[in-house]
Structure 1
Amino acid sequence: MAVNTAVPLKLQSLQAENLKEGILPNEGAEALGRILGVKLPQVLVSTRNFQMRVEREKDLGALLSSEILDTANLPEPTHSRPNLNNAYIAPRNEIEQTLVNIWQGLLGIENVGIYDNFFELGGDSLMAVRVIAQVREAFQIELSLSSLFENQNVAGMAESIERVRGTVQTLQSSISTVLGDGAIASKEADREEITL
């Protein structure tokens, strides 16, 4: 899906210019074969204009840090929901809606249903890591990567999140019963002082 990502025209022209200086795959394979076949120490001697190359890299660096590549100004690439074996079912609660928003944003697909399979939508293990990171941030819970592989749809993940939240609340109430509410407040105050 990254192939269809919007790229500013100036960056496109710089990328095209860099491609002109490249070598063909068969030329690369031949060069690598020659390098690996020689038993002598390797020395690289560049025939390119070094100063011109440095200036071009500066231009590219300036472009990458400028407003031209401000992701807020680029259109979000969205693709329609693929034809899946299950019908689209909208989110039923706030947890499911938050998860749908995360999936839609990362996968670039609109109208993700709560029973749509993450991997059938184009997700992979690297994307799963990003999903879990955003879920942890959004819900302030610790959720393992395996939870996405075990619950490959929004509804299943929402149930996992509710279970984790329930477990945390049960633990907090058990601790407050044993130690008293003042102990928990004291620990939270200590944690705030440490993080400052």
Structure 2
Amino acid sequence: VHDNFFELGGDSILSIQVVARARARGVGITPKLVFDHPTVADLASVAGVESVQAEQGIVTGEAPLIPIQSWFYGLDLPERNHFN
């Protein structure tokens, strides 16, 4: 619990995965907290219980294509589902 996450090979991508797994279990941490408190013992002292309050109503309105989508749909491809 006292080993440094980054000295053990952790990096920013792994820290995001740690945060996602912790949040899935209701533990409120952020990537910044992982960087500021890189040991489990330190992180545990600042982690909180997360309660997400998000508005869950119906989404309405226009959703225009982003530029890459516009480019893709502008291509004359015989089988778009085989593009990669």
* Residue 116, structure 1, aligned to residue 3, structure 2: yes
Q: Which amino acid aligns with 1:154?
A: V
Aligned structure 1 segments of 4 or more residues deviating by more than 4 angstroms: none
CA deviation profile, 1:39-71 (whole Å, cap 9, x unmatched): xxxxxxxxxxxxxxxxxxxxxxxxxxxxxxxxx
Question: What's the CA shift for 1:143?
Answer: 2.0
Q: Aligned ranges for residues 142-153 of structure 1 at < 5 Å? A: 142-153=28-39
Structure 1 residue 144: deviation in Å? 1.6
**Aligned partner of 1:157 among 43, 68, 74:** 43
Q: Cα RMSD over matched residues?
A: 2.2
Greater Rg over alpha carbons, structure: 1
Task: Report how far residue 121 of structure 1 moved.
Answer: 0.4
Shift of residue 127 of structure 1?
Answer: 0.5
Higher strand share: 2
Structure 2 residues without counterparts, runs of 5 or longer: 57-84
Inter-partner Cα distance in structure 1 for 2:13 and 2:42: 20
Aligned length: 53
Determine the C-alpha separation between the residues in 1 that align with 2:40 and 2:27: 16
5 Å-filtered alignment, 1:90-101, equals: none
Answer yes or no: is 1:125 the counterpart of 2:17. Answer: no
Letter in 2 for 1:149: F
Higher helix share: 1
**TM-score, normalised via structure 1 length:** 0.25
Tell me which amino acid in the other structure corresponds to 1:116.
D
Q: Which amino acid aligns with 2:34?
A: L
1:115 Cα deviation after fit: 0.5
**Counterpart of 2:5 in 1: which secondary structure?**
coil
Tell which has more relative contact order, 1 or 2 (C-alpha 8 A, sep 6+). 2
Structure 1 position 159, deviation (Å): 0.8
Q: What is the distance in 1 between the residues matched to 2:22 and 2:16?
A: 10
State the AA in 1 paired with 2:3: D
How far 1:145 sits from its partner (Å)? 1.1
Once the two structures are TM-superposed, the CA of residue 126 in structure 1 deviates from its matched residue by 0.5
